[in-house]
Amino acid sequence: MKKQDKEFYPPDWHKVAKKDWQRMKIMLDGSDFEAAGYFLQQSLEKYIKAFLLEKGSRLKKIHELDALLDDAVKYDASLEFFRGLCERFSGYYFAERYPPLGEEGLTTKDIEKDLKEARS
């Protein structure tokens, strides 16, 4: 397999998504809620990208979960249920990456609430 083809291999995306999920749990256990939120967003992003690649879609190098979800619902309309979750998770990404947005801070309740929904 050529190097450029490897980025389109869904099992690799699943593997990294699982690693980000584990990182999220470590950060949550350490009370670093912003980092936990960031890795939660990253995990979901990679799972959605893997889903899209499995369906034959082209890889989009973006971090906006709602935009990725727009593409995913074309293949499975039931995924629309997760629109609110994707919007919240996108906020986690920006809160960690851009200082003015992270000042409000996440709490363990925020993350745990969204974890229940994400697991489904």
Distance from C-alpha of 37 to C-alpha of 89, rounded to nearest angstrom:
7
Can you name the CATH fold of 3-119?
A: Four Helix Bundle (Hemerythrin (Met), subunit A) (1.20.120)
Share of the chain above pLDDT 90, in %: 44
For the entire predicted model, the pTM comes to 0.80
Helix, strand, coil % over all residues of the chain, rounded to 5: 75, 0, 25
The per-residue pLDDT for range 39-93, each reduced to its tens digit, is: 989 999 999 999 999 999 988 888 889 999 999 999 999 999 989 888 888 877 7
pLDDT reported for residue 77 = 97
